[in-house]
Amino acid sequence: MDVVRTSKRLSYLLRHRPDTAGLTLDPAGWVDVEDLLTALRLTRSELDEVVAGNDKRRFAFDTSGTRIRASQGHSVPVELDYAPAHPPAELFHGTVERFVPAILAEGLRPGNRHAVHLSPDVQTALRVGARRGRPVVLRVDAGAMAAEGAVFTQSANGVWLVDAVPPQHLTVLDRG
Ligand code: HQG
């Protein structure tokens, strides 16, 4: 089994297109492990290896270990049921230069995903931005947003999620 390939296929199925493998996610994004194993022709120990070895801990089992879901990043409608959490004063967003003018004009928007994804530190934001080219890091004044009533949640793998970030709470921090 190719762990990276299997992880990418899992991301695709659990975040975007479960239907392509005949799977259905429940409202919180969970799918039965047995159904997933059958659809992917994997053994439980292979799945455990992919989940445990995943660099960003993208997938999580429920407490009983009988269901699995992606911890964030969905484009299909799911209610991840993370409790609202008080964010640190600053969060970060990694992007690339070509998006910066639009972001500074209209703020951060979720695009195809459910939420804007924010990183807890500059290092992580640099890595997120670098997926698309030379990274640019934006600082998000999460403290001020929370004071104004914005609701933040934190996914099981540490990504901060919020509906949107208005431009007045963004500062360009670091152009790679
Ligand atoms: C940009 C990966 C123009 C935004 C990562 C980003 C992350 C705008 C892109 C997770 C905009 C959306 C999410 C606006 C935002 N105008 N561009 N108003 N607002 N953008 O992939 O945050 O490996 O949906 O800057 O590590 O890059 O998949 O979001 O460049 O945690 O687990 O629009 O995906 O994790 O791109 O990445 P994405 P993201 P995984």
Note the pLDDT tens digit of each residue in 27-58: 999 999 999 999 999 999 999 999 998 888 99
**Rounded (5°) CA angle 156-68-42:** 130
- pLDDT for 174 equals 60
How far apart, in whole angstroms, are the C-alpha atoms of residue 101 and residue 140? 16
Domains of the chain: 3-70 (1.10.10.970), 91-175 (3.20.170.30)
Contacts with 159 (C-beta within 8 Å, 6 or more apart), sequence order:
71, 72, 117, 118, 119
Residues in CB range of 48: below 8 A, 6 or more apart: none
Task: State the pTM of this model.
Answer: 0.88
- For residue 113, the ligand 1 atom closest to its alpha carbon is 24
Give the pLDDT of residue 139. Answer: 98
* Residue 103 near ligand 1, beta carbon < 6 Å: yes
Read off the pLDDT of residues 122-163 as tens digits, 9 standing for 90 and up. Answer: 999 999 999 999 999 999 999 999 999 999 999 999 999 999
C-alpha of residue 38 to centroid of ligand 1, in Å: 32
128 CA → ligand 1 middle, Å: 8
Specify which residues 119 forms β-bridges with. Answer: 92
Q: Give the atom of ligand 1 at the shortest distance from the alpha carbon of 102.
A: 16
Name the residue with higher pLDDT: 60 or 53: 60
Distance (Å) from CA 68 to ligand 1 centroid: 23
Report whether 170 contacts 108 (CB < 8 A).
yes
**Which ligand 1 atom minimizes the distance to the CA of 72?**
32
Is any atom of ligand 1 closer than 6 Å to the C-beta of 62? Answer: no
